[in-house]
A and B are shown apart, each in its own frame.
Chain A
Amino acid sequence: SQQGEEDPQALSIQEGENATMNCSYKTSINNLQWYRQNSGRGLVHLILIRSNEREKHSGRLRVTLDTSKKSSSLLITASRAADTASYFCATGPKAAGNKLTFGGGTRVLVKP
């Protein structure tokens, strides 16, 4: 079973709009990460947020973490066609050493 579940499963927006996707998880975590996967490629690490952090920024990315609700969100501001990809959250559960558990992903289409 997957620790993280993303919502929505798919998202279609116009270039310049913001894209928001959410991730929920089940057990206590050390940290939560977001990855991007372009079609037919490997995953690329975007951002990591630790369990004692509430918000983190990296360029046009903003990640929030609410450990009381066991949820995180990824916001991509001013989206570009190049942001078209699948986005996955991955959690590092406290009881699982350094293993990562991935969610099913959100497919984002940014239309020019």
Chain B
Amino acid sequence: NAGVTQTPKFQVLKTGQSMTLQCAQDMNHEYMSWYRQDPGMGLRLIHYSVGAGITDQGEVPNGYNVSRSTTEDFPLRLLSAAPSQTSVYFCASSSTLYEQYFGPGTRLTVT
């Protein structure tokens, strides 16, 4: 199993550009989540999904969209990038409530 994979690993955007961060898991997990981690801080939940076709907002959803058309994939879209979205983004999945498997992260810089 590859586990949770994320692409790209690094990305630089200009303010106002849009992009999609990809996340895929091959463990047939129902639950998937997106977090952002700012320097020296913990993770904050952006959006999450409890199954294909079902998504919900987390703590910091503004400026981000998600969709879950398949069990495996959970892309995160930045609509119009802002410097405040410079962060490291982590995708996670789980088959049971709460015990989560994390991807390696995408380091995003918005200039």
Contacts and interface: CB of A to CB of B under 8 A. Distances in A.
Contact of A103 (B42, B48, B97, B102): B42
Contacts of B48: 98-99
Interface in A82-101: 88, 90, 92, 97-101
Contacts, number: 61
A99 B98 CA distance: 7
Contact of A42 (B40, B42, B90): B90
B77 interface: no
A43 B90 contact: yes
Interface in A60-112: 88, 90, 92, 97-105
Contacts of A33: 98-99
Given A42-B90, A43-B90, A99-B48, A88 B43 contact: yes
Given A92-B97, A99-B48, A104 B104 contact: no
A43 B102 contact: yes
Interface of A: 2, 4, 30-31, 33, 40-45, 48, 88, 90, 92, 97-105
Contacts of A2: 42, 44
B101 interface: yes
B105 interface: yes
B58 interface: yes
B105 A42 contact: yes
B45 interface: yes
